[in-house]
Amino acid sequence: MEHQNEVSEKSLLFSMSGYGFLLIGLALLAAVGYLFLQNGGEISFSMIALGILALLIFKGLSVIDPNEAVVTTFLGTYMGSMKKSGLRFIIPFYGKQKISLRARNLNGQILKVNDKAGNPIEIAAVIVWQVDDTAKAVFAVDDYERFVAIQSEAAVRNLAGSYAYDHSEDSSADVTLRDSTGSINEKLEQELNERLARAGVNVLEARISHLAYAPEIAMAMLQRQQATAVVAARKQIVEGAVGMVEMALQRLHDRKTVELSNTERAQLVSNLMVVLCAEKSVTPTVNMNSNHLQ
C-alpha cells in the first residue's frame, strides 16, 4: 500500500518555445493600449479580454537556465518536469517550481563517534551530489537539501561504527577506516545512494576528508603506534641479523678458514648479533687468544 503514494518523475513535460508567445503577449498589450487611447481612456470588455489573455500567456512562460528544471502541478496533481533550457511555454494554469540539477558539494562537519572497537574517533566526509528525480526531491521529502545533510551524517556515523580504525585495533579485519580508504569510500557512496534514493538524489562521489583519534586518546594511540612500529622494525632487524650470522658461520665452515669450538662459535654469534642489532655503532675490541698463536 505504501508504494501507491510514492511519486516518481514522469517523462519530460511537453513545452513549446516561448519566444513566439512572448511576441503575441506583447502585441496583445500593445493592442490594449491602442484601444484604451482610441476609447478616450474608457475601459471596454474587449480590452479586459485582451489583457487577461496577455496575462495568461505571460504566466505560461518560464525561463529555464542550463542544469535547471521546472516541476509542474495542476490542482494537486504532478504533471511533469521541464528540463529543456531557454524560454519555454506551457499551460498557464500549471503551478511551477524551479529546482537546480547542478552538482553540489556537502562538506560534512567533523563528527565524534566510536569505531567498531569502541575507541572515540573524529571523522568527516565530503559528498558530491545532484538531484536526479525532480518529483521525488520536491514531493517525497519536506526539504531535500536538509534531508541530504541529515542522512549523510547518519551514513558517516554508521560507517564509522561498522569498522575498526586500523589493523592494530582488529588484526583480522579485511577492511579498516584508515588502511582501506578506497573500499571505505565505495561503501560510503553505496550507503548514501541507498539512503538518498527516496529523495531522488544521486551521489556522484563520497570521500572521507578527516579521520583521527579523538584528542583524549590521541597521544596514547600515537605511543602505541610508535611502539608497534619499533617492534616491527626490531623484528625485521633480528631476522636479517640471524640470516647474516648463519651465512657467516656457513662460509667459515665451507672455506675452512678457521676451526671454531662450540664455545667460540657461541661467542662469535653473540658478537655478530650485538654488532648487527645494536642501535648505536659498537666499539670493536681485539681478543688476543694465545691458544691460536703459533
Q: What is the pLDDT along the chain (294 residues), one digit of tens a residue?
A: 344 456 666 656 777 888 888 899 899 989 888 888 887 777 778 888 998 999 999 998 888 889 899 999 888 888 888 888 889 888 889 888 899 999 999 998 898 888 888 888 889 999 999 999 998 999 989 899 999 999 999 999 999 888 888 776 666 777 888 888 889 999 999 999 999 999 999 999 999 999 888 877 656 666 666 666 666 777 777 777 788 877 877 777 777 666 767 776 777 777 777 776 666 665 666 565 545 444
- What pLDDT sits at residue 127? 94
β 86-89/68-74 pair status: unpaired
| Rg value, the chain, Cα | 38
Question: Which pTM value belongs to this model?
Answer: 0.68
**Identity (one letter) of the amino acid at 287?**
N
Bridge partners (DSSP) of residue 129 are 104, 203
Secondary structure, 3-state, 78-131: EEEEECCCEEEECCCCCEEEEEECCCEEEECCCEEEECCCCCEEEEEEEEEEEE
Question: Which cell is 250 given?
Answer: 656457513
Q: Cα–Cα–Cα angle for 75, 77, 81, nearest 5°?
A: 115
Provide the β-strand partners of residue 179.
Answer: none
> How far, CA to CA in Å, does 183 sit from each of 11, 134, 165, 166, 176?
36, 30, 14, 13, 9
The pLDDT score that the predictor gives to residue 4 is 42
User: Alpha-carbon distance 281 to 92, whole Å?
Assistant: 90
CA gap 25, 57 in Å, rounded? 6
